[in-house]
Amino acid sequence: MSTFTVHLDGRPCEAQHGETILEVAARAGVSIPTLCDDPRLDGAGCCRICLVEVSGERRLQPACTWEATPDVQVVSSSERIDRHRRVLLGLYAADHRLDASETPVQTANGNVLRDLVNEYGSLPLEAVEAPRHGRPDDSNPYISFDPELCILCARCTRYCDEVEGVSAIALTHRGAKTTIATVADRGLLDTTCELCGGCIDTCPTGALTERKAPDLPPEAFEKTRTTCNYCGVGCQVDLNVVDGRVLKVTSPPPGETVNDGNLCVKGRFAYDFIHHPDRLREPLVRGEDGELHSTTWDVAINRAAQGLMDVKKANGPDALGFVSSSRCTVEENYLVQKLSRAAFGTNNCHQCAAT
């Protein structure tokens, strides 16, 4: 792919055809603030925070949608741009629920607007009351929506449409009443929603949050990267841990892993089994009394092996069948078929992901 040069803040930067100024800046390590941008979504240019000066253009242009061209001169920070950002952030803050420090509140999902107000400052404006409504009767167990924190960036609706392809939520009403809603304000369980939680992940202000998770700021959690164990795709997840307990699961940033920051309903929300009191924590074998009793791994493995050998001896190897799990690694699944064919002499082996 041919490349060309873009001059960003007086510094030559390499760009590729079709890239936006925001993409070029991100690769060059130049920070351009944005609220509505998500690398998984098509650029929308609706939040107007990322406006920059482009040579030959009278007005400021959105970096997230403006395509880079050869030798274009771009300025990402100037007195004019800084003034624009302070005014715009002031307008956002005036229409946002405020706390005692008069900055947008923190949420369990973070608040990029609050961070930008703290970084760039904002024009002090009197707070306004917008008559946006939420979905208080929505009984879905996972996703909560707070209209007072919504800035109508449409990242959630665009994600639902462009990534998931289900269009369960949309921008509805007009003017100050505009909000994120469903058809006839139904609960998410009565729509095409797959409860993937991608809307939570992409929301920049915490208007969409997880019902199950505790109301703690992001810095309260210790994150551990691991592989989701629900299927064979190998999606990466971040376990959010407090005091040794997994309290929620989030996805890594887009572009870092095989799942590109996306998760399904099981990967994101079905983590209760980790600390469930009924979870097996040691091997069990059935005793002469017919009940299961705790034992060691050596005893359990020998008992299983002897049982398989007894079946083979009595009925032949094809009386056995081996089914491996998509939750296992590739190496573990390989060993299962090796056990089936080499150790017991049968080709009756299968993998659950093949069905």
Burial of 110 (0-12, 13-18, 19+ CB in 10 A): middle
Do 87 and 32 share a structural domain?
yes
DSSP designation for 252: P
- Residue 100: predicted pLDDT: 47
The CATH number of the domain holding residue 207 is: 3.30.70.20
Distance between CA atoms of residues 301 and 53, nearest Å: 69
Helix (H, G, I), strand (E, B) or coil at 3: strand
23 is in which domain, residue-wise?
A: 3-120
Average pLDDT in the chain: 91
Q: Are both 149 and 197 inside the same structural domain?
A: yes
Predicted pLDDT of residue 176 = 84
* Domain presence at residue 144: yes
- CB atoms under 10 Å from CB of 233, counted, come to 13
Let me know whether 307 and 322 are in one domain: no
Give the CATH number for residue 256.
Answer: 2.20.25.90
Residue 306 lies in a domain: yes
Report if residue 82 sits inside a domain.
Answer: yes
Q: What is the CATH number of the domain that holds 48?
A: 3.10.20.740
Q: Are residues 7 and 31 in the same domain?
A: yes
pLDDT in tens, 30-56: 999 999 999 999 999 999 999 999 999
Beta-carbon neighbour count of residue 212 at 10 Å? 16
The span from the CA of 304 to the CA of 309, in Å, is 9
Establish if 182 belongs to a structural domain. Answer: yes
Do 322 and 311 sit in the same domain of this protein?
no
Tens of pLDDT along 312-341?
Answer: 999 999 999 999 987 788 899 999 999 999
Is 227 a domain residue? yes
Same domain for 69 and 20: yes
125 is a domain residue: no
Q: How far is CA 250 from CA 117, 205, 221, 232, in A?
A: 25, 16, 11, 19
Q: Provide the percentage of residues in the chain whose pLDDT is more than 90.
A: 72
What's the token pair of residue 191? Answer: 């729509």
> Does the pLDDT at position 101 exceed 70?
no
Residue 22 lies in a domain: yes
Co-location of 103 and 144 in the same domain: no
Our count of domains for the chain comes to 5
CA separation for the pair 92, 86 (Å, rounded): 10
Q: What is the pLDDT of residues 265-318, one digit of tens each?
A: 999 999 999 999 999 989 999 998 999 999 999 999 999 999 999 999 999 999
Per-residue pLDDT tens over the stretch 111-153: 899 899 989 999 988 888 878 887 777 889 999 998 888 999 9
Same domain, 169 and 99: no
What 3-state DSSP class applies to 76?
A: coil
User: What residues have CB less than 8 Å from 168, skipping those under 6 apart?
Assistant: 160, 182, 188, 191, 192, 193, 194
